[in-house]
Amino acid sequence: MAIGHVSGGHINPAVTAGMMVSQNISILKGLLYIVVQCLGAIAGSGLLMASIPEKYHGTSMGITDLSIPAGNGILVEVMLGFVLVFTVFGVCDVNRHETKPAAALAIGCAVVVGHLATVDYTGSSMNPARSFGAAVLKNHWDNHWIYWIGPIIGGILAGLLYKYVFSAPPTGPLKIIERYTAVVTDEKELKRLAGGKEELP
C-alpha cells in the first residue's frame, strides 16, 4: 500500500497480467512493469544472500521447487494466482469504497493462507518475479516455467472474471446523472405514448 498511489503497487507479474487483460493498464506499460518487477526480485534476492552468512547459502534461499507432478504444480499455482489477483481486484475496486480500509489486510491474508496451504507442494510462489530472482542468484531452473505459467494464468482468469462478472457499478456523480437521464427519458416516452404533455425538463 506504500507505493500504491505511485504505480498501483502490483509487485507481482500475475497481478500485472490481470490488469492488462482487464484493460486497467496498457500492454506496453504492463510489460515494463514485469521487467522492473524481475529486476527488483533479483536485487532483493541479492540483498538476502548478502545479509545471510555463507554457511546458510546451501538452503533454498527463496527458491521454489516441486514435490508433486508438474501438472499438479501448475494447477496449484493457477489457484494461488487466481485467489491472490481476485482478492486484489475485489478490494481495490474504485467503486467499492467500503473495502478500502481493509485492502492491505485482505491481500496479506490471501498471501499467508496460500502459503500455508501449498508451501509443501510447490513452494507457494504466487509471484513469478519472486521465483525468478531466487533462480537467477542460485542458478536453479528446475521446473521454473511452472512458476510463470501457473500464477499468470490464474491472474488472467481472475482479471477477466472480476471485470465481466463481479465488478461494482459506478456510484459517483456520473452514475447518478445517468440514472436521472434514464428516468426522465422513460417518463417522457410514457407520456408521449399516453398522449399527455411533457412537463419534465
* Rounded CA separation 160/22 (Å): 6
Averaged over successive runs of 10 residues, the pLDDT of the chain (201 residues) comes to 61 94 93 95 90 70 79 95 94 78 88 93 91 89 92 96 84 52 55 57 52
Q: What is the pTM of this model?
A: 0.77
Say which residues have a Cβ less than 8 Å from residue 98's Cβ, sequence separation at least 6: none
pLDDT tens digit string along 8-44? 668 899 999 999 999 999 999 999 999 999 999 999 9
